[in-house]
Amino acid sequence: MALPSPRDPEVTRAVLAGWIGGRVDGEVSVAPPSGPAATGFSNETILVDATWDEGDGVAEHRLVFRVQPTSHAVFPHDLFEVQHRVMSALGDQRGLRVPRLRWYEEDASVLGAPFMVMDRVDGEAPTDNPPYPTEGWLKDGSPELQRAVWERGLDAMAAVHQVDWKGHGLADLDPCPEGGSRLGARVEEWAAMLRWASPEVRQAVPEAGLAWLRENQPPDIADPALCWGDSRIGNQLFDGRDSPATVHVAAVLDWEMVHVGDPVQDLGWFTWMDHTLSAGLDVPRLPGLPSYPETTARWEAATGRSAHQHRWAEIQAGVGFAIVMVRLTELLKDSELFPHDTDYDRTNMGCVALERALAALDVHPDDLA
């Protein structure tokens, strides 16, 4: 779900032409901006084709402007600059592709908020809307293509967990640099976000999930890793989609939830989100996707780490996604895209999937005090 862009295309075109012109030599020509029919909640995205002379002739540059969210922020804490810093650090990571970053603008007077500029990457992501188990290029592809996409995406996620996060200057992403539980800190971050997203209305399903996570929290690992956060194939661009032999991850996107911690959390989010997009909607998984046990075994082999706490991490992912959906419901109501009496904050696929998973653990929201 997304919000319509409020920008006037011609005004935006002129602003961007002038801004780019201040950073390159020679005359700049900018085509009318385009992009998704509606911009996303996490970041506004503006696609621009621009030309300028780089010294050996005029060349066209396909650019992406990502603008920091302001009035419609999904998360309570702004990590926009952190996203840019993380993507800059990962540009040379073996086995991991991120878009090439060109510029970062802190001056909010240009587009109303800070923004980053990167080269556009050829590729397509499996869609969330409509969910890829129901329609789209991945569903229409062969089982062999579906397996290849899943495995390539999983391997790219595992590459994140190999990053020397301290050596790349990302030590400030560690929530417990002097001791304490990183898993506990993550759970409490979700709890704080739920209070922020729904300060007046009880959300029994994610609250029950939070209680279970606290009661069953495993011990922290001694060697934390960089965690992508929003780790799923829907946040990856795939190129070479005509053949299982050539399909590959062209870019890993969306670092709003990046942190340092136990990387099994990324594995949990990776499998849980696929489960939610299928079981949460009562549709089958795509037939070519490897089983979750196969997935955890492949991740363990790639990282040399244990997936013993995978189920706990899946429940944490279920709680986190349910809380995100609570926040998105409020944004959709504020934008008058949903009626104000909607119950979508409780009936969305994320809450449905989480409530079923908790019931299998004999945890029931109605039992909450």
Q: What is the CATH number of the domain that holds 76?
A: 3.30.200.20
- What are the CA-CA distances from residue 353 to residues 61, 260, 322, 348 (Å)? 43, 27, 9, 9
Tell me: do 190 and 322 sit in the same domain.
Answer: yes
Tell me: do 109 and 185 sit in the same domain.
Answer: no
* pLDDT the model gives residue 1: 46
Domain count, the chain: 2
- Examine residue 129 and state whether it is found in any structural domain, yes or no: no
Q: Which of 89, 119, 149 is the last residue of a domain?
A: 119
- Examine residue 130 and state whether it is found in any structural domain, yes or no: no
* pLDDT the model gives residue 39: 39
Q: Which of 84, 119, 154 is the last residue of a domain?
A: 119
Q: Which of 119, 145, 160 is the last residue of a domain?
A: 119
Tell me: do 81 and 162 sit in the same domain.
Answer: no
Tell me: do 260 and 175 sit in the same domain.
Answer: yes
Tell me: do 154 and 263 sit in the same domain.
Answer: yes
- Examine residue 247 and state whether it is found in any structural domain, yes or no: yes
- Extract the runs of DSSP E, i.e. beta strands, from the chain: 29-30, 44-53, 58-67, 101-105, 115-119, 225-227, 236-239, 248-252, 259-261
- Examine residue 2 and state whether it is found in any structural domain, yes or no: no
Tell me: do 256 and 321 sit in the same domain.
Answer: yes
* pLDDT the model gives residue 94: 81
What are the pLDDT tens digits along the chain (369 aa)? 445 556 888 999 999 999 999 999 888 999 999 865 433 456 688 999 999 987 778 889 999 999 998 777 899 887 899 999 999 999 878 888 999 999 999 999 999 999 999 999 999 999 998 999 999 999 999 999 999 999 999 999 999 999 999 999 999 999 999 889 999 999 999 999 999 999 999 999 999 999 999 999 999 999 999 999 999 999 999 999 999 999 999 999 999 999 999 999 999 999 999 999 999 999 999 999 999 999 999 999 999 999 999 999 999 999 999 999 999 999 899 888 899 999 999 999 999 999 999 999 999 988 776
**Category of 282 on φ-ψ map: left (φ > 0), alpha (ψ -120 to 50) or beta:** left
Tell me: do 161 and 220 sit in the same domain.
Answer: yes
Tell me: do 165 and 220 sit in the same domain.
Answer: yes
* pLDDT the model gives residue 213: 98
Tell me: do 172 and 306 sit in the same domain.
Answer: yes
CATH number of the domain where residue 210 is located? 3.90.1200.10
* pLDDT the model gives residue 4: 53
- Examine residue 48 and state whether it is found in any structural domain, yes or no: yes
Sheet holding 29-30, edge to edge: 29-30, 44-53, 58-67, 115-119, 101-105
Tell me: do 149 and 251 sit in the same domain.
Answer: yes
Q: How far apart are CA 306 and CA 221, in angstroms?
A: 10
* pLDDT the model gives residue 358: 97
- Examine residue 4 and state whether it is found in any structural domain, yes or no: no
| Residue span of the structural domain in which 157 resides | 137-367
- Examine residue 19 and state whether it is found in any structural domain, yes or no: yes
- Examine residue 126 and state whether it is found in any structural domain, yes or no: no
Tell me: do 53 and 194 sit in the same domain.
Answer: no
User: Could you tell me which of 264, 252, 254, 261 has the C-alpha nearest to residue 299?
Assistant: 264
Output the pTM of the full model.
0.94
* pLDDT the model gives residue 38: 39
Count of CA atoms in the C-beta half-sphere (13 A) of 109: 1
* pLDDT the model gives residue 171: 96
Residue 259: which residues within 8 A CB-CB, separation 6 or more?
Answer: 173, 175, 186, 227, 229
Vertex 319 angle, CA 37 and 280, to 5° = 60
Tell me: do 334 and 189 sit in the same domain.
Answer: yes
* pLDDT the model gives residue 369: 61
